[in-house]
Homo-oligomer: A and B are copies of this chain.
Amino acid sequence: MSRKPVVRMAELEIDPATLEAYRALLTEEIEASVALEDGVLSLNAVSIRDHPNKVRILEVYANREAYDAHLQTPHFLKYKTETSGMVTALTLIDVDPIAMRSKL
């Protein structure tokens, strides 16, 4: 099993008419993933203040296997299915950690 963490930034644009529902589904998915999956280390989602339908998510998984397992979980599949009509643009950016520290 790989020991290298998988870190990624997702940049999304959401149909403004669906933004409230999208935010609720994303919150539910993040809470379930970090609570239920050992290999999901951190999920931090924010919206840009002046463009609240632009969402950024910084995702940290323990390794590639943890990421692949995450994609098969019921809570991720629910999120993906129910938000598919709400997301108008999605860019996934592979990133490498420099330093990550949290008291959250």
Contact = CB atoms under 8 A, between A and B. Distances in A.
Contacts of A95: 46-49, 56
- Which label, helix, strand, loop or mixed, suits the secondary structure of the A interface? strand
A60 to B, nearest CB: 7
Nearest to A38: B103
Contacts of A104: 41-42, 60, 100-102
Interface in A30-84: 30-31, 33-35, 40-50, 52, 55-56, 58, 60
* Identical subunits present: 2
Given A99-B31, A103-B34, A94 B7 contact: no
Contacts of A27: 98-99
